[in-house]
Structure 1
Amino acid sequence: MVKFAPLSVPWERRLQTLAVLQWVFSFLVLGQLCIAVFIGLLFTRFWLFSVLYATWWYLDRDKPSKGGRRFQALRRCVTWKYMRDYFPVSLVKTAELDPSRNYIAAIHPHGVLATGSFLNMCTESTGFSKLFPGICPHLMMLNLWFRAPIFRDYLMSGGLVTSDKESADYILNRKGSGNLLGIIIGGAREALDARPGAYTLLLRNRKGFAKLALMHGAALVPVFSFGENDLYDQIENHPGSWLRSIQNRLQQIMGISLPLFHGRGIFQYSFGLLPHRRPITTVVGKPIEVKQVRQPSQEQVDKLHQHYLNELYNLFEAHKHKYNVPADQHLKFY
């Protein structure tokens, strides 16, 4: 039975819903819409706009892998504060980050749409710059999204950069100090496991971030977002099922995953693409000091990776009781 929203919902909550709606729209269809407009203008009297943008795009083609182009006014836009309060989302600091160092923040879990990661690192709604003064955050995103005209500029304005080695090298080596590179380790594939109560991370054989930390001498920061997986329900797709096999195959071909998720609607709470109103608390752990090794051996990478797994597990155990995680629930790595 459909559960409808009451007519007496306060305007504050309506604005929060509107803020989340525009973000979901941006994430799911804005890129495709920008491509359609760019191509469509070529067949109208406004074709010159597309030609001029194409020229700019060509000259600016390397920018997403060279630190991007953040726009502070957009990062501080009031829209993101309404979106933050919809869940709400909060950022918790457990240790200081020295601005004279560079960091790699390994973020877990991915969730369906990486909502907490976006709000914490691509906006100022949760107060990142106040909690970590002198630290400039960047969040990696699949290169595919930066191939959409206009949309690429929108992504960069929040601090998003491409998820490739060139981008990481630029931020951790050529931009000086005080940079934090956020990497959602599980990536698109982990989104297929995002459902309420899930604490399984795709991490066991993902060691590239540990190698990057060694090559650049960047401290590793474990980050866990409690509640990220609770925002959406997902159609059952356990490993080995026919649906999961199809999803894995599509992910290999396209580079993006296609989780069949559902949440709530705008005027009812039973189904839709809006996330549920459930809190997300992102806990930033203590940095793991890393000595620079320009050409690390596999043994060194494995040792740092195992150290990281232990620190992440301890971070989860130390904080889970504060955020309604059952005592018998523990992190599992695959």
Structure 2
Amino acid sequence: MAKPPPLISHQIPHTSRLHGAISILTMLASMSLGPLIPPLILLLYALSLAPAASSLLAFAVLLHCLAGHSPRWCRFYLRSAGWFTNGVHIHFEPSTIDAVAASPSMWCMHPHGTSVGFGFSLNGAVRLRAEAEALYLPPAFVGKVPVARLRRCNGVQAPMMFNVPLLRNALLGFGCATPATREGMRGLFEGGVDFGILPGGMEEVALYTKGRERVYLRRRAGFIKYGLQHGYLVVPGYTFGECDCYTSLQAGKGLRMWMLKHVGLIVPVFWGPKWWCPALPDPDVQLNTVVGQAFRLPVIKEPTKEDVDKWHKKYIESLVEHFDTHKERFGYGDRELEIV
């Protein structure tokens, strides 16, 4: 294999392990406690505890009204990097920075991970929306992409997540979260916005197995279809280390996939190595997100299935090549990328 290209790299400033743990647990709490608020309100009313139920309902409504972008919340969450002893890094191929500087882009990030997706969240648009470019981005990137454009960047998430109290606030607080609906995606494309997406979605969460580099992509081509309609620049990104952060429950994967198809959500079961707080990931994992060779899709306003299949295949080939090019330099030379 040819020698891998040089990379322009940047590490999130390292905070204390305590700060990192608090940031991660805060985000996980919003994901796990938020869904409990609506049924708890109903339960309190059922138990004739109307004052408590009304207070909790008022709190939920207040949260809904106050949700909005907060650079301070972005910076607080980025402190999560402090938990990882060897740090959280983003790497760019130099040609990719030049391509992104010249055109709005869709960053396709892999893999999803168990829940938060540390590569997507810590090395994605949150870095840009923290409004502290000197701290969170390499100078070579900031020097070529205007700050005003960086601060418009976005990302798409599963629509149902925006209906969950606390979690909705966390996502909107990042300032770069849009529901992955047809309307939401179209708005980003038509606005010429740079944005990130996790093409594998919740299916990738359901299929997560520690130590296996696996992405759900063969039946996921909608992002390519939308990209073709607008001739967007496609940027593949892969996070080495994401698949080693947690151990997950392997039993019941078929049931989880069934729930995802028919209910629209799953409840992932995963744990880290610390018995005293299994919600925290393995601190010895180094997270390296490599943003690879970008390529532009042609403008096809009404792409046929053949058009989508052709460019979807090209994307998969590009991602596999990207993984194989960089895996050895980050200690994953013995692994193969599984395309499910």
Bin of the TM-score, shorter chain as denominator length: 0.7 to 0.9
| Structure 2: distance between partners of 1:33 and 1:54 | 11
| Structure 1: distance between partners of 2:182 and 2:302 | 15
Q: Match for 1:155 among 155, 168, 171?
A: 171
Q: Match for 2:122 among 119, 123, 126?
A: 119
Q: Which residue does the alignment assign to 2:91?
A: 92
Q: Secondary structure at the match of 2:16?
A: helix
* Percent sequence identity over aligned pairs: 21
What letter corresponds to residue 227 of structure 1 in structure 2?
G
Q: Which residue does the alignment assign to 1:258?
A: 267
Q: Which residue does the alignment assign to 1:144?
A: 160
Asked if the contact 1:106–1:221 (Cα under 8 Å) also holds between the matched residues in 2, the reply is: yes
Q: Which residue does the alignment assign to 1:297?
A: 304
Q: Offset at 1:252?
A: 1.9
Q: Offset at 1:25?
A: 1.5
Q: Aligned runs of 1:275-286 on 2, under 5 Å?
A: 275-277=281-283, 278-286=285-293
Asked if the contact 1:35–1:149 (Cα under 8 Å) also holds between the matched residues in 2, the reply is: no
Q: Secondary structure at the match of 2:303?
A: coil
- Report the TM-score, using the length of structure 1 for normalisation: 0.79
Q: Match for 1:27 among 11, 28, 31?
A: 31
Comparing 208-217 with 118-127, which one deviates more in the overlay?
118-127
Asked if the contact 1:122–1:160 (Cα under 8 Å) also holds between the matched residues in 2, the reply is: no
Q: Match for 1:185 among 177, 195, 199?
A: 199
| Structure 1: distance between partners of 2:250 and 2:167 | 32
Q: Which residue does the alignment assign to 1:3?
A: none
- Report the TM-score, using the length of structure 2 for normalisation: 0.77
Give CA-to-partner distance per residue, 1:163-189, whole Å, 9 cap, x none: 11111111110x3x3x22211111111
| Structure 2: distance between partners of 1:297 and 1:22 | 44
Q: Offset at 1:205?
A: 2.1
Asked if the contact 2:37–2:165 (Cα under 8 Å) also holds between the matched residues in 1, the reply is: no
Q: Offset at 1:31?
A: 4.5
What stretches of structure 1 of length at least 5 have no aligned partner?
1-10, 61-67, 238-242
Q: Which residue does the alignment assign to 2:229?
A: 215
| Structure 2: distance between partners of 1:323 and 1:217 | 33
Comparing 276-285 with 16-25, which one deviates more in the overlay?
16-25
Q: Aligned runs of 1:1-334 on 2, under 5 Å?
A: 12-33=16-37, 36=40, 43-44=50-51, 69-77=68-76, 79-81=77-79, 83-87=80-84, 88-94=87-93, 95-96=96-97, 97-99=99-101, 101-113=103-115, 114-124=117-127, 127-128=136-137, 131=141, 133=145, 134-135=149-150, 136-149=152-165, 151-158=167-174, 159-173=176-190, 175=191, 177=192, 179-237=193-251, 243-265=252-274, 267=276, 272-277=278-283, 278-327=285-334, 329-334=335-340
Q: Offset at 1:46?
A: 10
